Amino acid sequence: MKEIKGRVFLFGDNINTDDIIPHRYLILRDNGEIAKHVLENVRPDFVQNVRKGDIIVAGKNFGSGSSREEAVNVLKVLGIETVIAESFARIYFRNLINLGVPALKINDVKKKFSEGDILKISLKNEEIVNETKKVKIQMCKIPKFLVEILEAGGILNKIK
């Protein structure tokens, strides 16, 4: 699996699916249009500043609320390829993996990452390197068949 390199956007606890994409925009149907409003209530300049490869780092219970998969698809549209959090809401965690986005559970994120840090992530070596802080962070083991889902770019590609 290829390495991921990007900047950290740091968020707090309990960012729910309505924070990620407010419900009122879902009617737009086109993910490209919907994605213009990602996280606008939490951080209005997010969509303007985010670049391909950037990484969301959040606290506890990231993605609680609705089971809508748009809340993952819009992040993919913006080029976000990894989400790190202290914990994920159950269905959101499934949706990330199923749609091919690594969801990495790491404790004490505020001690390990700051806004704008550059991270290099290797799923193969199960390792995150914080290049800005010059430290290595071990991630938990990802089971083989989850790696296969991520490598295929999502579970539907895997079963095709």
Partner 1 sequence: MKLLTENSGKTIAEKILSEHSSNKSVSPGEFIEADIDLVMVHEQIGGRIHKEYEKLELDKVWDPDKIFFILDHWVPAPSIEAAKMHQDCRKFAKKYKFKHDIGMDKGICHQVLPELGFARPGMLIVGSDSHTTTYGAFNCFSTGIGATDVSVVFATGKLWFMVPETQKFSLKGQLREKVMSKDLILQIIRDLSIGGAEYKSMEFHGDGVKSLSIDSRMTVSNMVVEAGAKSGIFIPDNKIVEWLKGRSISNYKLTMPDDNAVYIEEFNYDLSQIVPVVAKPPSPDNVVPVSELPEIKIDQAFLGSCTNGRLEDLRQAAQILKNKKIHPDVRLIVIPASQENYLKAIREG
Q: Which residues are near partner 1 by CB under 8 A?
A: 14, 60-61, 64, 67-69, 87, 89-91, 93-95, 97-99, 143, 145-146, 149, 154-156, 159-160
In the complex with partner 1, the residue whose CB is nearer, 50 or 155, is 155
- Using only C-alpha atoms, the chain has a radius of gyration, in whole angstroms, of 15
| Dihedral in degrees, nearest 10, Cα atoms 98, 99, 101, 105 | -30
Tell me the closest approach of the beta carbon of residue 157 to partner 1, in angstroms.
10
CB of residue 51 to partner 1, shortest distance in Å: 27
Q: Which is nearer to partner 1, 55 or 97 (CB)?
A: 97
Q: Please say which residue, 98 or 130, places its beta carbon nearer to partner 1.
A: 98
Rounded CA separation 48/16 (Å): 21
3-state secondary structure 19-69: HHCCHHHHHHCCHHHHHHHCCCCCCCCHHHHCCCCCEEEECCCECECCCCC
Q: Give me the phi and psi of 105, to 5 degrees please.
A: -95, 115
* Cβ at position 109, least distance to partner 1 in Å: 16
Nearest distance from C-beta of residue 69 to partner 1, angstroms: 6
Is the CB of 94 or the CB of 120 nearer to partner 1? 94
